[in-house]
Amino acid sequence: MSKRIAGPEIERLIQLLAKVPGLGPRSARRAALHLIKKKDQLLSPLANAMGEAVEKVRICSTCGNVDTADPCMICTDPRRDDATLIVVEDVSDLWALERASAMNVRYHVLGGTLSPLDGIGPDQLNIRSLVDRIAGGTVKEVILAVNATVEGQTTAHYITDQLSGFDVKVTRLAHGVPVGGELDYLDEGTLAAALKSRTTF
Amino acid sequence: MSKRIAGPEIERLIQLLAKVPGLGPRSARRAALHLIKKKDQLLSPLANAMGEAVEKVRICSTCGNVDTADPCMICTDPRRDDATLIVVEDVSDLWALERASAMNVRYHVLGGTLSPLDGIGPDQLNIRSLVDRIAGGTVKEVILAVNATVEGQTTAHYITDQLSGFDVKVTRLAHGVPVGGELDYLDEGTLAAALKSRTTF
């Protein structure tokens, strides 16, 4: 705002809300006003929830997930299969896979992808701890669920190399047509991969 | 999330963030993860800013604006013209007019529009306090900057009635073509109003 129309506390709230992904300067003002109007039902509980998150959230020292416990809920869940480990780039990927509820297994969060130009080498990612986990001998299959980008694939190749000395199967996610997707809108690479990996009907 | 993948504190944060206008369930997860990753730069300051807003924000007893002071910054600003009062439905309208910086005057926030079907009569809005302000005698012009909706116009007519006994000029915002707008996309009502209120070039 060019002109100050409210106390500094409200303007600071708007400025900080504008940094939340999904909100811009304009929607941050709307959000701030809504929060202020619903002070008791929303603003106050949200302030408390955030304060608690600041206090309690930590990175799991085993898998790199974020949680309020270390080791995290997934690492300590006794009903999960220890023999399978899904490697993801980011916690958001772990959450996405968990929402799909596809497999009841363990995870390992790399924290990014190899990107030499940005100064991100193997030491900046959780690759050493991954190798250590595999060296433990319990894991029989590592599923590389990295993004299908150049960086993701480079990282996948590097990890495969690092794990070549261990008795572990390394797999990757299937390429193909997204469920509900229309062929017309798909790129050639995906279509070619989907054709190549066709299955019996 | 169907399956619990993180501590209750994180899930509560996501649930509350999803209630912020502009964020849905999906973007709330993204926002929560971003906030957690930027704990010191964003989550912690935002939690504090919200806590402070909970503590300090109040409704201005003079005009109905929200601020951390009562009377608010606008009501106490000595450089504003006391003779002109802009009546708006909501604080967001006040903020929008202030951003336009069109006039350095005072405001009065109604807190809604008359809507008998929803049980909103004159007593549910800040109309009594508006009449009291006008009765003070300082205000010479009341600009009804209510929305150009049926409810807004009904409210405007009611207020005009209430103020008919006082020596005060009641005006409303001009109807016309929005600046930067294309005639082709405008409704007939706006075009007719713009033609009727045409000015010399």
Q: Please report, rounded to a whole number, the percentage of residues in chain B having pLDDT higher than 70.
A: 98
How far apart, in Å, are the Cα atoms of B123 and each of A88, B66, B111, B115, B170? 58, 20, 11, 11, 21
How far does A140 lie from chain B, in Å, by closest CA?
A: 23
Q: Return all residues near B57 (Cβ < 8 A) that are at least 6 apart.
A: A9, A10, A36, A39, B66, B67, B68
Looking at residue B132, what is its pLDDT? 95
At B26, list the tokens: 């999906």
Chain B residues closer than 8 Å to A49 by CB: 9, 12-13, 16
Q: What is the DSSP string of chain A?
A: --S--S-HHHHHHHHHHTTSTT--HHHHHHHHHHHHHTIIIIIHHHHHHHHHHHHH-EE-TTT--EESSSS-HHHH-TTSEEEEEEEESSHHHHHHHHHHT---EEEEE-SS--BGGGTB-GGGTTHHHHHHHHHTS---EEEE---SSHHHHHHHHHHHHHTTTSS-EEEEPPP-PPTT--GGGS-HHHHHHHHHT----
Looking at residue B2, what is its pLDDT? 47
Question: pLDDT for B120-152, tens place per residue?
Answer: 999 999 999 999 999 999 999 999 999 989 999
CB of A30 within 8 Å of any CB in chain B?
A: yes
Looking at residue B199, what is its pLDDT? 83
Q: Return all residues near B154 (Cβ < 8 A) that are at least 6 apart.
A: B113, B114
Looking at residue A3, what is its pLDDT? 60
In this complex, do A6 and B101 lie within 8 Å of one another by their Cβ atoms? no
pLDDT of B200 over the 90 cut? no
CB of A42 within 8 Å of any CB in chain B?
A: yes
Question: pLDDT for A130-189, tens place per residue?
Answer: 999 999 999 999 999 999 899 999 999 999 999 999 999 999 998 888 888 888 888 888
Domain boundaries defined on chain B: 17-56, 66-172
In this complex, do A68 and B10 lie within 8 Å of one another by their Cβ atoms? yes
Strand pairing of B58-59 and B169-172? unpaired
Whether residue B12 contacts residue A49, with contact meaning beta carbons closer than 8 Å, is answered with yes
Stretches in chain A below the pLDDT threshold 50: 1-2
Nearest to B34 among A6, A21, A69 (CB): A21
Looking at residue A139, what is its pLDDT? 95
Nearest to B20 among A35, A91, A101 (CB): A35
Q: Please report, rounded to a whole number, the percentage of residues in chain A having pLDDT higher than 70.
A: 98
**Residues within 8 A of B (CB atoms), A 158-177 only:** none
Whether residue A193 contacts residue A176, with contact meaning beta carbons closer than 8 Å, is answered with yes
Looking at residue B103, what is its pLDDT? 84
Looking at residue A6, what is its pLDDT? 77
Please provide the average confidence, as pLDDT, over all residues in chain B. 91
Chain A residues closer than 8 Å to B65 by CB: 6
CATH class of residue range A66-172: alpha beta
- Comparing alpha-carbon positions, the chain B residue that sits nearest to A103 is B3
Looking at residue A2, what is its pLDDT? 47
Looking at residue A182, what is its pLDDT? 87
pLDDT band at B155, cuts 50/70/90?
very high
ipTM here = 0.82
**Residue in the structure block whose two tokens are 């000029």:** B169
Nearest to A29 among B44, B52, B95 (CB): B95
Query: Quick one: average pLDDT of B31-36?
Result: 94
Of residues B115 and B5, more confidence is placed in: B115
Looking at residue A1, what is its pLDDT? 41
- Comparing alpha-carbon positions, the chain A residue that sits nearest to B10 is A53
Looking at residue A4, what is its pLDDT? 67
